[in-house]
Amino acid sequence: MASNLLAVFDFDHTLVDGNTDTWITKLYEDAKHLQSNKGTCWTDKMAEVFRTLHEKNFTKLDFEQCLRSLPFTDGMKELLTFIAAQDIPCIIISDSNSYFIKYLMEFNNVMHCVKEIHTNPAHWTDSDLLTIQYYHTHNCSQCPVNMCKGGILKSYVKNTESAGKTILYVGDGRNDYCATLQMKTSDYVFAREGYSLLKLLKQNAVNAQTQKAQPIVVPWTTGFNILGKVKNIVEKQQ
């Protein structure tokens, strides 16, 4: 078993093939306009979206029906299942929210594959209003005010004695970049083709002024691409 590995996943545009926050606005077209307010934290924007949907009498059941139409990215269920079968600790670090993630993980029968979920807490009130809070506070200048993925990964590794493990980080976006700065050169970051994370990693690799030793970068388009590489990594460790 691959006990020397730690798998870390983003959620939006990584495990699922879309953004949970923008997906839920399919319920009500005007809710999309609320997300365009400049200078406002995205989590605060979503809180306003949820209040608007509540005012328009959309219920938890409506949310669930909408979320069920958001597909998992091709190959990600198989990747999660393999990781679980190998007893590789697996966590999610996402700027979505706890309700969206847990609902979709349970609906797709892969919740058992994940040890911990680090995301913005979300709760339903008795009147069917979905409320959301910041995950934490931090001092990182390059991350959104509600979440620093680099800080979360650093804390997890320290507090779970995972410092010697090889990290397998799977993500796509700009907010995943900070986490890669906490990784070792022997770690792996799987960055989705055509998204911000891969572009930032490439810029870092060629820019001598900001160059920093970085983990091994593996571009991907489907979970099957990652699965093949992870199988090779596991075989080498056995």
The question of whether 12 is a catalytic residue gets the answer: yes
Phi, psi of 168 (to 5 degrees): -115, 100
Choice among 12, 21, 172, 187 that is catalytic: 12
Task: Decide: helix, strand or coil at residue 35.
Answer: helix
Rg (alpha carbons) of the chain, rounded to whole number: 18
Pairing label, strands 122-124, 130-132: antiparallel
How many angstroms separate the CA atoms of 100 and 90, rounded?
18
What are the CA-CA distances from residue 118 to residues 31, 33, 95, 123 (Å)? 26, 28, 8, 15
Distances (CA, A) of 28 to 37, 121, 146, 158, 192: 17, 23, 25, 43, 29
In the set 10, 21, 95, 187, the catalytic residue is: 10
Token pair in block for residue 3 = 């006990």
Cβ atoms within 10 Å of 147's Cβ, excluding its own: 26
Chain-centre distance for alpha carbon 30: 26
Active site residue 187: no
The number of beta carbons lying within 10 Å of the beta carbon of residue 182 is 19
Name the region of 37 (left: φ>0; alpha: ψ -120 to 50; beta: rest).
Answer: beta
Active site residues: 10, 12
